[in-house]
Amino acid sequence: MTLNQLSYLEEISVRSLNVCEDNGLLDLASMISYYQENKTFTNLKNCGRKSDEELTVICLKYIDKGNVEYSELVNKENKIIILISSLTRTQIEVINSFIETNSILLSKRSKNAITSFLNGNLKIHNICDKILAIERFNIQEIKNVGEKSVLELKHFIESIIEFIEKVAIVKNENDLIILKNSFFIEKTFSINTIPYEILETQSIFRLVDFLISNDAIYEKKENAVFRKGLKIYNNQVESTLEEISLDIDVSKERARQLRVKCLEDLFVNFQFVKQMEDNLYKKYNIDQNQNIIFVDDVLNKLINDTNNTNFSKEFNSIIIYSFISDNYDLVGELDDVLVPRYFNSKERHNWENFYLVKKNISYLLNFNSFVDDIRRRMDARINKSYNFNFNSYLFSFLDTINLNEINNVSKVAENILFYEFGISINANHTILFNRNSQKKSYEYAFEALKIIGIPSKVNDITKKIKELYPFYETDSAKVRVSMKRKYGFVPIGRQSVFGLKEWEFELMNFKGGTIREIVKDYLTKNSTPQKIRDISNYVLKFRPGSSENSIISNIKLDESKIFVFFKDSFIGLSSKIYDGSFILSNSTNLPVKKLWEERFTELKEFVASNNRIPFSAGCPEEEIKLYRWYKVQCRKKINGELEADKYTLISEVMKNFQKSNSGRKRRVFIGRYNYFYDELINFIKDKKRMPNSRNPEEMSLYFFYYKIKKNFVNNIYMTNQELKLVELVNELKYSKQLKVG
């Protein structure tokens, strides 16, 4: 009795059979002989405890039977059982594959009945035990089998027996596969013969080409619509419905219905491909472990050249999908990719290609929503290029969040993004949507001014624009007209100098507009009239080149009657109603100026007391005023505008105390810095809160601290004073003594 015959009669594991084959025990007699000599099988290579027990039980069973001949153990009259017992393992595998394939073709009722009867095991040994080995087996005895099912199952069993008889005489593995494919195709499509050269290639593509050519997959009229109305072949000019209807002699509507039916039945009709033997991955160098397979022009040419076919890459994608659909899903709309498009849908994205995506990835991402959103963004008017992180963007379209797979999902989506839209993800893994609208004139000015970084004259801005865009034609007049407030520009005084509105929030002590506009803004924020001194202090933070007298003169020369003047040097707005305690003043005379000699005396006294000239910032207001007066005299001296005696007096001061410009700036900066630092420390300790950015009186302190905090967050070098300030704020926050908000 051979091992194959023995495995039919006895429950022997594959591992035990391999042990016997590897050690030359190829029949029952050699097994028994070895056991009688060694009393164990553990001496054999790769034989473990379970295999030893299994083989020992079998040997003892047949030794007890007194070595009964195999012929006495089987039904001599049942030739098919004897035939099955003599089959090789490869032949058994081919038959089992044949049974599985043919069971798919059974009606649902018949398949459920036979599957239930066989307890879900459709292998040949189980069919043999429960059906073939039973004398005069009656199919009608199977539960839930009616008259139609009886006939169908009878043909099913007969086809298995017929196939077993054919397989039994074929020993070569390749010939066995050819036989299985041939038998399956002939039975499935009612074709008498299939050319041997097609079967020999074991190519699903050549087989599909043959079946389409012989009207085997679709009926004749449907097949004509399938071939002419869909993108099946390379360089194919798809026929219109009207042309197809004339070719097959049906109405245009009927032709449309047939095309719809072809698409509806497509995957069902091509299920047979899955049952074919084709070493697809190796032949065409396709990595079966990759998460996405895309049939591009290169792969499509390789497939067609290898198989002497002329299929389109779209249709070759369908064939491959039908073959590997257990592991991959098809992404892309059939109507979009296979049907000729004369009009695109405006409500969604119209797919260009098919993509085969691993099932464990495809269920995570809603691909239709993803591509529809990309399409909407690309079709929309983009006035300014923008980008965002690609992975974060994908979270909006995840049906199921699986953080372990997000990188794989991202790579699949990235491939679809490239082949569908031509968009690539950059090195920072961000997706960029470029501007698609024409650049407007004010945008050139805005970009140029932002690069310059400081308030600039129109001529300088125009020069920068021409430097950035040599082929853009413009001039100073056009640039000046384009820089309107609504586009984010602010004038600085009335000297054709412009800045950006956004700088008011980014830069300390920057504010656009004229002096009158700054004063108006300040008075608007206050519910009561303000002192001339306070107004001047506020304006000078933004216009340090001005002076208190100049500011007051500017206000009083206003002819629009925006400002009203009260006694005791208070100024308010005419649009506001103030408390009756503020009395209007009839006088619009400017404050009396001090004599030149009085100012010079104050300067001499200051120099003698402090051994330096006054600072321009970060110091008391009187010192700032004295500094400004001194600088005016210096300028007049240089311009030759001072009288001889005054020239001599100022020259003496300049000789002793004026330093280099860089040294002066450094002192001013240190003085200004120390002033704000001390003011902020005192403010925090006194108020137990941070300065309010909306309060004009506290705005400077707020921006001073904001700048220090920004340096701290960005890990930029900080002085000991700055570090101590941050520590103080953090300590007060931690102890909840500091109010923040």
Give the closest residue to 173 by CA, choosing from 86, 93, 90, 79.
90
pLDDT digits (tens, 9 = 90+) for 490-535: 888 767 888 888 887 777 777 777 888 888 888 888 888 988 888 8
Q: Tell me what pLDDT residue 301 has.
A: 94
pLDDT digits (tens, 9 = 90+) for 579-633: 878 888 765 554 545 667 778 888 888 888 888 888 876 677 788 888 888 888 8
Q: Rounded CA gap, 96 and 98, in Å?
A: 5
Q: Tell me what pLDDT residue 74 has.
A: 40
E-assigned strands of 181-326?
292-293
**Other CB atoms closer than 10 Å to residue 77's CB: what's the count?**
8
Q: Tell me what pLDDT residue 76 has.
A: 39
Query: Is the model more confident about 214 or about 666?
Result: 214
Residue 387's pLDDT band (boundaries 50, 70, 90)?
A: confident
The token pair at 570 is 């208070």
Residue 437's pLDDT band (boundaries 50, 70, 90)?
A: low
3-state secondary structure of 512: coil
Residue labelled with tokens 């209007």:
584
Residue 668's pLDDT band (boundaries 50, 70, 90)?
A: very low
Q: Tell me what pLDDT residue 332 has.
A: 92
Beta bridge partners of 491: 498
Question: DSSP letters along 150-205, please?
Answer: HHHHHHHHHHHHHHHHHHHT---HHHHHHHHHHHHHHHHHT-S---HHHHHHT-HH
Angle at which helices 173-189 and 147-168 pack, to 10 degrees? 150
Give the closest residue to 647 by CA, choosing from 638, 655, 639, 637.
637
pLDDT digits (tens, 9 = 90+) for 549-561: 778 887 887 777 8
Q: Rounded CA gap, 281 and 285, in Å?
A: 6
Q: Tell me what pLDDT residue 369 has.
A: 92
Sequence-separated (6 or more) residues with CB below 8 Å from residue 226: 212, 217, 218, 232, 262
Q: Is 90 exceeded by the pLDDT of residue 138?
A: no
Q: Which helix (H) or strand (E) holds 500?
A: strand 497-500
Residue 29's pLDDT band (boundaries 50, 70, 90)?
A: confident
* Residue 154 one-letter amino acid: K
Q: Is 60 exceeded by the pLDDT of residue 737?
A: no
Q: Rounded CA gap, 198 and 535, in Å?
A: 97
Mean pLDDT, range 400-411, rounded to an integer: 84
The token pair at 389 is 């992180």
Q: Percentage of the chain surpassing pLDDT 70?
A: 88
Residue 558 has φ and ψ, to the nearest 5°, of: -65, 125
Q: Tell me what pLDDT residue 662 has.
A: 41
Q: Is 70 exceeded by the pLDDT of residue 401?
A: yes
Mean pLDDT, range 309-323, rounded to an integer: 93
Strand order in the sheet with 292-293: 292-293, 355-358, 328-331
Query: Is the model more confident about 714 or about 77?
Result: 714
Q: Tell me what pLDDT residue 358 has.
A: 93
pTM of the model as a whole: 0.49
Q: Which ranges constitute the DSSP H helices of 611-719?
A: 621-638, 644-657, 661-687, 699-713
Q: Is 90 exceeded by the pLDDT of residue 291?
A: yes
Mean pLDDT, range 678-699, rounded to an integer: 76
Q: Rounded CA gap, 628 and 636, in Å?
A: 12
Mean pLDDT, range 636-660, rounded to an integer: 73
